[in-house]
Structure 1
Amino acid sequence: MIKIRDYIESTVSISDADWKLFSSKLKTRTFKKRERILNVGETEHYISFISSGIARFLIPNEDEEKDVTFGFCFENEFVSAYDSFLTKKPSLYALEALSDLTVWSVSYSDLQEVYNKTEVGNLIGRLSSERLFLIKSKREQSLLNETAEQRYLNLFTERPNLIKEIPLKYIASYIGVTAQALSRIRKRIS
């Protein structure tokens, strides 16, 4: 739990009383590699902080090779099907553990209590929402304005741990190309 407090305090100071309330609402959950955290059609009930492991956002297909990967979250980051969490509607995509995964989760109702009873709860919520929005916006701009090669190069400038820990087929899907096209890109730039 100390990682979560450190993460929060990298942006805003949190009092011991506020931390005590927030941390009392956290519950630990674990997932095995390739286990679904959330399936399409399920409603997201949690925002989770990754203590260890990697999660993948995907739109599944009957043919697994045609799954569309559109995001990753790593250790010391928050993960959630946030639109489903906010609207309380079924998710149109899935979340999957790419490795053994341990998270600290807070439910929607508990988070509302934290917002209402702490001095910094709303600020933490706003900053987390802004971060999620910026990541989403940057990805959309990238898909519209950059070549696949530029997206690949930018990905490893910004998130070098991807190349070591994520299977290439998921990276290919994430940048919007086939595995064969990614192989050609990698050959061209090496």
Structure 2
Amino acid sequence: MCVAACDGALFSGFGTAGQRCTSLGTVIVHESWHDEFLARFGAAVEEAAIGDPFAPVLYGPMLDRRFAERFEEYLGWIRPHHPAHGSPHISRITAAKPRPGFVKDPGAGIFYHPTIVSGVRPDDELFRSETFGPIVGVLAYRDLSEAIRLANLPGYGLSSSTTACPEAPGAHR
């Protein structure tokens, strides 16, 4: 499996706590690689250091309470058909809901657990709407035409990228 895809998704989705317009919203991955990608991506997120932005971490706190309040709404878009990966909780990081390996004091800012959501469908609000925060959806596709259709479906397509893995079935260079 392409390590570059997991590394790219890790920073693109969670760097700056997902608080930029070019943050990754949904990974659209070929169905033959879906499970392996999800396992590797989930492990990378679980191992990522979160916390004090003055330390070597993937991301620090939310920019402001109003962004955190809005992010709570996005977390509400997670439905029963959405398994969550990458963190022990889907919520704010606190002493009561800790994150293993958290750097410094979770009370020193507004920190959220990074959350990967699989089982995303094209009609899910989580897929169709832009989120600002540490949440990334994962959606499988069957062929290139479906991947292109899915990539163009949300109304907020501000950026996109591809990673072609030479070993992937139907890889395009």
- When normalised by structure 2's length, the TM-score is 0.28
> Larger % of helix: which?
1
Q: Looking at CA atoms only, which structure, 1 or 2, has the larger radius of gyration?
A: 1
- When normalised by structure 1's length, the TM-score is 0.27
Structure number with higher relative contact order (C-alpha < 8 Å, ≥ 6 residues apart): 2
